[in-house]
A and B are shown apart, each in its own frame.
Chain A
Amino acid sequence: MCSITKENVFDAISTVIDPEVGFNLVEMGLIYDAIIDEETCNVHVVMTLSTQGCPLHQMITTWVKEATERIEDVGEVEVEVVWEPAWNISMADDNVKQALGGM
């Protein structure tokens, strides 16, 4: 039985910061889901990016993978980038909206 929770995964990914805006990916609302296999502790992260033409695309997914792999007893980690639903500012935490001037 795997003891890793979705919160553990989100906490781990919250160490990854977007260098352009200065917020972590979780508070930006870019991490949509983390599916954890209860038998193997494999983690499948579903995320998006704020723009499709992001030059950091591959690097950010690598950082997410590495951050998740640092969780104790984690199995295989896979990161999937999806474009639906498209990210928008309403998905971000209030502090992000406030700092960006969207509130």
Chain B
Amino acid sequence: MKAISSDFAPPLKLISPFFSAGVIFYLLSMIALLFFEPSFAYEQMDVAGWLHLFLLGFVMMIIFGAMAQLVPVVLEAGHAVVDVYYVIFPLLLTGASLMVIGFWIIPQILPYGGLLVLVAMIIFAVENMATLKKTTISTLTIKTVAWSNGYLLLGILTGFAIALGFSGYLSINIPLMLKAHVYAVLGGYVVLTIIGLSLILIPMFSLAHGFKEDAIQRAFKLVIVGVGIVFAGALFSQKWLMYIGYTINTIGVLFYIWQIYIIAKLTVRKELDVWAKSMIFAFGSLVFSIMTGLVALVTNDQAMLHATVWFLLLGFVSSMITGHLYKIVPFLVWFERFAPLVGKEKVPMLHEMYSKEGAAMMFNFTVAGVVLGGFGLLFESNMLFKAGASFLFGGALFLFIGMRKMLAYGK
């Protein structure tokens, strides 16, 4: 019998700080957006600060918390040293905060923040690798975890070099290193992790069965190769190599979307809850960002490129995460507080642990915000962009309140 021990599950008190802090960083990111203009350059320090607030504070924080819970489920083995997550959290929290302050106010503290983040991520990657060694099974998701951790380390090392460069401690070609860094972290870690986890979580929550995995196998291989090529192209300043990598990656992501379409067709659960709606919006945004990305690549239109990144980060990545929070957080709380009471007294269902109205408001505000803000960037309209940022702030506020209530449920 193949059993996944409940003993492998880390305690709620270990994981919940990641989710709480991640949502606070999301709220702060959306507040910060209110002060931005729709035309900018990625090399600007304030833009880099916002990207780190969003990517490190929100995306990475939530992914780390989710991985603490999901890695044992996927690997069917307990963590090598689960207690390291007690160390990772304060390091990432402090490191991310210092980096944002470094980008925005005091550049000299950038490398210190970067160093803390580097240490947090090295601990995370090494622990994941050690846990990987314990498993006897080999699935696509497991290979994804291994590759994504490798790219994470590359991304962090290049990021740290950039931090040293910014503060004058190291003489490097910052724009080139920046491309390598962004691609290793965003394409190599975030996208690969999302692809791997999608294959577990989306069929699980939608009750889809009996689908072939050929498309996602291809997606996985193409994204790994593509990210590696772009990384090398950026590092050695070979533009042609980077274009080959972009093309391979785009084909890889198209295969991933095709796999999701196959799963969606076999979905048993037709209920459109906040998770299902978020998934639809996330994949719609991903398709849209691929289209704008291709146009941006051909025309070299900066506004189009900004809209592409916007829909990719706030439409796809963000909605994938926020949608899943409404599934994962109630489960964690339920597992800790109610699972021991099953059979002894009435316990709540997972969907009863959050306000449907609050979740709907979060979703509606976020969709309005992403669409308006995205078009604000596309047409360089300050009014549209500010309207989008305001809606996103509203959505983030509903998410924040919803998260507080979920984590406090049954306390």
Contacts and interface: CB of A to CB of B under 8 A. Distances in A.
Interface of A: 15-17, 19-22, 50-59, 61, 63, 66-67, 80-81, 83, 86-89, 100-102
Interface string B330-345: 0100110011001100
Contacts of A54: 4, 204
Nearest to B352: A22
A102 B270 contact: yes
A61 B2 CA distance: 11
A53 B335 CA distance: 16
A100 to B, nearest CB: 5
A100 B210 contact: no
Nearest to A97: B268
A20 B331 contact: yes
B119 interface: no
- Chain B: interface size category: 20 to 34
Interface of B: 1-6, 9, 69-70, 73-74, 200, 203-205, 207, 209-210, 268-271, 331, 334-335, 338-339, 342-343, 347-351
Contacts of B209: 50, 86-88
B342 A55 contact: no
A83 B4 CA distance: 14
A88 B350 CA distance: 22
Contacts of B349: 17, 19-20, 22
Question: Top 6 A-B pairs ranked by shortest CB distance?
Answer: A101-B270, A89-B268, A57-B4, A51-B204, A22-B349, A58-B6
Contact of A51 (B203, B271, B331, B348): B203
A51 B263 CA distance: 14
Nearest to B270: A101
Contacts of A87: 209
Tell me which of A17, A58, A86 has the highest count of chain B C-beta atoms within 10 A of its own C-beta.
A58
B334 A61 contact: no
A15 B346 CA distance: 11
A19 B340 CA distance: 13
Contact of B331 (A52, A55, A89, A102): A55
Nearest to B7: A58
A63 B204 contact: no
Given A53-B74, A101-B269, A59 B339 contact: yes
A42 B9 CA distance: 31
A22 B351 contact: yes
Nearest to A15: B343
A55 B209 CA distance: 17
B9 A55 contact: yes
Given A19-B349, A67-B343, A100-B271, A89 B6 contact: no
B2 A52 contact: yes
A57 B76 CA distance: 11
B210 A88 contact: yes
Given A53-B73, A100-B207, A100-B270, A66 B343 contact: yes
Given A19-B334, A50-B207, A100-B207, A55 B4 contact: yes
Contacts of B334: 19
Given A81-B2, A101-B268, 5 more contacts: A15-B343, A56-B335, A58-B5, A80-B1, A86-B210
A87 B127 CA distance: 34
A79 B162 CA distance: 56
A61 B338 CA distance: 16
Contacts of B5: 58
A58 B313 CA distance: 36
Tell me which of B4, B69, B73, B270 has the highest count of chain A C-beta atoms within 10 A of its own C-beta.
B4
Contacts of B69: 55
Contacts of A56: 6, 335, 339
B271 A101 contact: yes
A66 B341 CA distance: 12
A61 B73 contact: no
Contacts of A80: 1
Contact of B3 (A15, A16, A81): A81
B202 to A, nearest CB: 11
A76 to B, nearest CB: 16
Given A19-B349, A100-B269, A102-B270, A59 B343 contact: no
A89 B70 CA distance: 25
Nearest to B343: A66
Nearest to B200: A53
A19 B270 CA distance: 18
A53 B269 CA distance: 18
30 contacts: A15-B343, A16-B343, A19-B331, A19-B349, A20-B205, A20-B349, A21-B207, A22-B351, A50-B207, A50-B209, A51-B204, A51-B207, A52-B2, A53-B4, A53-B74, A53-B200, A53-B204, A55-B9, A55-B73, A56-B6, A58-B6, A59-B339, A59-B342, A81-B2, A86-B210, A88-B209, A88-B268, A101-B269, A101-B271, A102-B269
